[in-house]
Amino acid sequence: MNPLLSVLLHMVLLAVAGQAWGGWNEAASAYSQGKHAAAFGEWQSLADQGNTYARYNTGIMSYKGLGTAQDKSQALAWLKQAAGKGNPDAMYALGYMYHGGHGTPVDDAKAAQWYRQAAALDHARAQFNLGLLLLEESALQQSADEAEQWLVRAAENGLLQSQLKLGLLYKNGTAVEQDYAAAARWLRKAAGQGNAQAQFNLGVLYKIGAGVQPDDAEAVRWYLKAAAQGHAKAQNNLGYMYGMGYGVPQDYVQAYAWYNLAGANGIEVAFENRDKIASEMTSDQIAEAQRYARTQTMSMQPR
């Protein structure tokens, strides 16, 4: 299955009033406090009475084994009931289960069916997953064209994964016609949401002037954002930019430090690049660069 498959099987927690929802607030409160068994009991009771949201929650809790024994077959049954009443989250969840073979044999036709229903109701993750599913069949041009349309819908709905996927597809010309301007547009949106891969690739486009005017300073700006999140290729590219003085004043200390970080993060050629820079540096400069690299490493540690 595509590693970008978007998974978000979440609970619906609403504050409601009225006899038809009796027990809902108690269930939501219990769930929020980690009292999953109590929440499951309340929601299952409401589900038995025909409450669509409760059927969805009961299905998700059965899927995850929260407050009850994990039972994906039972989850499928509850989710089908909720989806049958028009719940788009349930439709999406069913698509995901059929797509990945969770509690049921893999069935791409049924996955596409449920994704389509949720996507038509503007469910962004269903739109994204439907696009991915169709890309798997992209030997057919019709599938590739439809995949692009659904990915665009999801991206327009603000889904970061779809913005990134589109940016990379347009950049590489994979399954769609290569379009650097479109790549830059979608990568910029994903980069603006803080995605390091998008930030790095946007930096590359600015460096080579593809889809945007070449701008070394702008390339450095995006490389820095990605590198600060530990993106090794961005760190290596920063080493090059500082070493050559592209977009920034030439600075061997910075170049050495970024190459060192990139090498430590798995870019083997970065150590070779670092050593070439070191041959032009004093021992004091090298010590300063090593201190700077340690400081950067510390700042990237999860808090």
pLDDT tens-digit series, residues 146-160: 999 999 999 999 999
What 3-state class would DSSP assign to 97?
Answer: helix
C-alpha span between 192 and 172 (Å, rounded): 21
What are the structure tokens assigned to 168, written together? 């990379």
Is the confidence at residue 8, as pLDDT, over 60?
Answer: no
Amino acid at 46: L
- Given a contact cutoff of 8 angstroms between Cβ atoms, the answer to whether 265 and 250 are in contact is no
- Look up residue 27 and give its DSSP letter: H
CA angle 151/154/7 to nearest 5° reads 95
Alpha carbon separation from 255 to 215, 268, 280 (Å, rounded): 19, 15, 11
DSSP 8-state class, residue 20? G
Domain ranges in the chain are 233-303
Encoded tokens for 187: 């990568």
SS3 of 229, please?
coil
- 184 to each of 8, 14, 19, 171, 200, how far by Cα in Å? 27, 39, 52, 8, 11
Least Cα distance to 156 among 115, 121, 196, 122 occurs for 122
pLDDT recorded at residue 16 = 44
Burial 89-106 (b: 16+ CB within 10 A, else e): bbbbbbbbbbbbebbbee
Reported as a single tens digit per residue, the pLDDT across 207-245 is 999 999 999 999 999 999 999 999 999 999 999 999 999
Using 50, 70 and 90 to split pLDDT, how confident is the model at 23?
confident
- DSSP-assigned letters across all residues of 55-85: HHHHHHHHHHTSSS---HHHHHHHHHHHHHT
**Residue 89 structure tokens:** 């989250």
Neighbours of 84 (CB within 10 A): 12
CA gap 43, 163 in Å, rounded: 36
Q: Which tokens sit at 90?
A: 């349930």
**Which tokens belong to 218?**
């702008």
What does the pLDDT read at residue 267? 96
Mean pLDDT of 97-121: 95
Q: Does residue 281 or residue 299 have the better pLDDT?
A: 281
How many Cβ atoms sit within 10 Å of the Cβ of residue 26?
A: 15
Spatial distance between the Cα atoms of 219 and 207, rounded to a whole number of angstroms: 5
With 0-12 CB in 10 A as exposed, 13-18 as middle and 19+ as buried, what is 121? middle
Q: How far apart are CA 260 and CA 141, in angstroms?
A: 45
- Confidence (pLDDT) at 138: 55
Residue 64 has pLDDT above 70, yes or no: yes
pLDDT of amino acid 294 = 86
Dihedral sign of CA atoms 157, 161, 163, 165 in order? negative
Indicate if the pLDDT at residue 14 is higher than 60: no
Interatomic CA distance for residues 16 and 22, integer angstroms = 9
**Maximum CA extent, the chain:** 78
Answer whether 63's CB lies under 8 Å from 82's CB. no
Report the mean per-residue pLDDT for the chain.
90
